[in-house]
Amino acid sequence: MSRPPLEGVRILAVSQFGAGPFGTQVLADLGAEIIKIEDPGVGGDSARYVPPFEGDADSPYFQSFNRGKRSLTLNLRHPDGQAVLHDLVKVSDAVFNNARGDLPGKLGLTYETLKAVRQLGVFSSALTSTSHVK
């Protein structure tokens, strides 16, 4: 049996809603290790609570876009959270985020910020419904 094409690739994902989780799901399906970073201040990814869901279980919507991913909550607004993010960046191949507007800058998720930690092979900031193309 052949190995998946992205086996051995680690990607940090800070994403919510359709485009980001779908894109990283495809990468996971191709064998990449996806580490999904969620905001503990809002209970993690809000897709966990999209109906229908039962009790403490994640919603089918969340499960369909996040199967096979690893997940952790990390407060990127706190220096300790930034330190953990930087440790993860040092051992990752790529960072993906689809945060809106100026949020990547506030959370330390821009290429300019992260390249000081490690020169990443790939950095992606996905288009969102509020993105502007210049």
Residue 4: name the closest of 35, 36, 22, 27 by CA.
27
> Residue 34: pLDDT band by 50, 70, 90 thresholds?
very high
- 58-77 confidence digits (pLDDT tens): 888 888 899 999 999 999 99
107: pLDDT strictly greater than 60 = yes
51: pLDDT strictly greater than 90 = no
Residues 6+ away with beta carbon under 8 Å from 71: 35, 36, 37, 38, 44
Res 10: pLDDT: 96
Res 134: pLDDT: 33
**122/125 Cα distance (integer angstroms):** 10
Res 101: pLDDT: 81
Residue 48 host element (H or E): none
pLDDT, mean of residues 34-49: 87
Res 13: pLDDT: 94
**Span 10-125 CATH architecture:** 3-Layer(aba) Sandwich (3.40)
**45/61 Cα distance (integer angstroms):** 11
Contact 11, 24 (CB under 8 A): yes
**Beta-bridge mates of residue 38:** 73
Name the burial class of residue 26, with classes exposed (0-12), middle (13-18) and buried (19+) by CB atoms within 10 angstroms of its CB.
exposed
Contact 23, 65 (CB under 8 A): no
Burial readout 28-40 (b: 16 or more C-beta within 10 A, e: otherwise): beeebbbbbbbbe
